[in-house]
Amino acid sequence: MPSLLLSPYALAGLTLRNRIVVSPMCEYSSVDGFANDWHLVHLGSRAVGGAGIVLTEATAVTADGRISPHDLGIYQDAHVDMLSRIFAFVREHGAVVGVQLAHAGRKASNGRPWDGGRPLSTSDGGWEPIWAPSAQPFRDGWQVPRAMTRDDIAAVVRAFAAAASRVLAAGGQVIELHAAHGYLLHEFLSPVSNQRDDEYGGAFDNRARFLREVVDAVRRVWPERLPLFVRISATDWVDGGWTLDDSVSLARDLKNRGVDLIDCSTGGNVAHATIPVAPGYQVPGAERVRREAGIPTGAVGLITEPRQAEEILQQGRADLIVMARQLLRDPYWPLHAAQALGDAPPVPDQYLRAF
């Protein structure tokens, strides 16, 4: 019996060759938001390696929404050309290609991890202002963000829609909206970071309003035949924060707005949260959202072994396996997983003699 992991999976108007997704992983290798040969090799090698979906790293919808000055961007039309070349290569080698659209919010204007990951001043290449629902920094010693006005919010909604149009022009096939890890959309969702008293703060429906507006704006320009994902942090891991109950309620709403899958991560919005990290530690979030909201989910978080991934699918805990660090260590993990599970690996002709 063929494995579920390596079986085709239909999603909106697409059929994936398998259920393995290359998770967005920041590369911090761009200049002015432009993709380059690093991204061609990084993303292209995972397509050659057999993944079903290859997603770009968090790709900024505005220049001041980048995490760092070295982030990938899609905030100007000139960004499309190189992305088109990369996307064509990924599709040619059998993978579906997509973009994670993001705005870093109060976590913007930081250095690269290998440079210390510290907040950058304008003299060090950073920028001001950075944006958030409330004028509350992510942690002590970080920049104090500017609380967004209604006009600021509307401008970012338009930026997400414009970015989605550019993804379509570049030949992208999936969009994932980044509403996790303490970035802007997550900041509005969570009562830990959203202290507003207007229609974008307070009650659950108000805190979810910004994300709903982004989803609706993107869906107006993104064809129904192409999947729309939303990545959430299913819990903040702190009392008084965003909860799994909130995630289920949000997923029900997003399903009715044309979202096809919820990519379930956790955390990132509280600097000192206690997170019980262990293999598969985020899978329960994907399982519960799938079961109670009736929407497909992606499971992520220290999923490294083929049989571990297969069991998650066989047990109905998620529909896709979203992998990050393991696919950095081994771009050809899908080929090796197929061998381990007794399936025929999707090996390109050029590599057949090795398999």
Residues recognised as catalytic: 183
Sign of CA dihedral 240, 243, 247, 249: negative
CB 88 within 8 A of CB 44: no
DSSP 298-352: EE-SS---HHHHHHHHHTTS-SEEEESHHHHH-TTHHHHHHHHTTPPP---GGGG
Burial label for 58, CB within 10 Å (0-12, 13-18, 19+), is buried
DSSP 12-67: TTEEESSSEEE--------BTTB--HHHHHHHHHHHHTT-SEEEEEEEESSGGG-S
Burial label for 95, CB within 10 Å (0-12, 13-18, 19+), is buried
CB 298 within 8 A of CB 11: no
Residues 6+ apart with CB under 8 A from 252: 293, 294, 295
- Amino acid type, 201: G
**Nearest partner of 107 among 79, 133, 68, judged by Cα:** 68
User: Encoding tokens for residue 41?
Assistant: 């090799």
Burial label for 140, CB within 10 Å (0-12, 13-18, 19+), is exposed
Distance of alpha carbon 101 from alpha carbon 254, whole angstroms: 16
**Nearest partner of 23 among 264, 274, 348, 294, judged by Cα:** 264
Beta bridge partners of 58: 100
Q: Is 185 left (phi over 0), alpha (psi -120 to 50) or beta?
A: alpha
Residue 258 sits at the vertex; the CA angle it makes with 254 and 263, to the nearest 5 degrees, is: 55
